Amino acid sequence: MTRLLAVLALIVGLAGPALAVLPDEVLEDVALEARARDLSKELRCPVCRNESIDESHADLAREIRLVLRERLVAGDSDAQILDYMVARYGEYVLLDPRGGGTNLILWGAPLGLLLLGGIFAAVAIGARREAPDALSPEEEARLASLMDDAPKG
């Protein structure tokens, strides 16, 4: 059976999973390569389900990684490269959506809820607060002596 499996594997001709960033892609310049890796993590592989091009094994992801490195070597800034990718593949490739336009809601909604919740919590705590009469100095002293006698609770 195991032999059958091996034969089957050959017939099906499956390539094993390629690693994401391959040795031949890596740039000589360590600083540039580090920037390339950081940028790769912000770009989505357009043909994959939900992976960045840094993680993806897909051919297209490899192509984009190579283009990205070409641009870096050519001296583009990070922002320029992201703009270039957006122009080529659409806003879809950005894993960190840009703040403009309707995306303000994405950032604003949680902040709004935090603010609203904060106000609500403050009101709730305020409403639940005791309006305690402060202890008089004698009461404080008596309490202190009692506390010293009893095991602390």
Partner 1 sequence: MIAELGHFALITAFAVAIVQTVVPLVGAWRGWSGWMGVASPAATAQVLLVGFSFAALTYAFVTSDFSLRLVVLNSHTDKPMLYKVSGVWGNHEGSLLLWVLILALFGAAAAWFGGQLPATLKARVLAVQASIGVAFYAFILFTSNPFTRLVQPPFNGEDLNPLLQDPGLAFHPPFLYLGYVGLSMAFSFAVAALIEGRVDAAWGRWVRPWTLAAWMFLTVGIGLGSWWAYYELGWGGFWFWDPVENASFMPWLIAAALLHSAIVVEKREALKSWTILLAILAFGFSLVGTFIVRSGVITSVHAFANDPDRGVFILGILAFFTGGALILYAIRAPAMQAKGVFGLVSRESALVMNNLLLAVSCFVVFVGTLWPLFSELVFDRTLSVGPPFFNAAFTPFAIALGALVPLGSTLPWKRGKGQVLRKMLPVLGLALAVMGLAWAMQTGQSLGGPLGAGLGTWLVVGALVDLFSRTGRGALADRFGRLFRLPGADWGKAMAHGGLGIVFVGVSGLMAWQQEDIAALDIGDRLTVGRYEVELKGVEQVLGPNYVATRATLEAYEGGEPLGRLYPEKRIYPVARMPTTEAGIDSGFTRDVYAVIGDAQVGGGWAIRVYIKPFANWIWIGSIIMALGGVLSLCDRRYRVAAGARKVAAPRGGVPAE
Question: Which residues lie near partner 1 (CB under 8 A)?
Answer: 1-3, 5-6, 8-9, 12, 14-24, 26, 41-42, 44, 49-52, 55, 90-97, 101-103, 106-107, 109-110, 113-114, 117-118, 121, 124-125, 128-130, 132, 151-153
Nearer to partner 1, 74 or 144 (CB): 144
Buried b (16+ CB within 10 A) or exposed e, 22-31: eeeeeeeeee
For 22, the token pair is: 């391959």
Nearer to partner 1, 75 or 151 (CB): 151
Identify which of 121, 114, 94 has the alpha carbon closest to the alpha carbon of residue 40: 94
Q: Cβ 72 to partner 1, closest distance in Å?
A: 18
Q: Cβ 141 to partner 1, closest distance in Å?
A: 16
Q: Cβ 138 to partner 1, closest distance in Å?
A: 19
Nearer to partner 1, 2 or 136 (CB): 2
Nearer to partner 1, 75 or 148 (CB): 148
Q: Cβ 152 to partner 1, closest distance in Å?
A: 5
- 141: amino acid identity, one letter: A
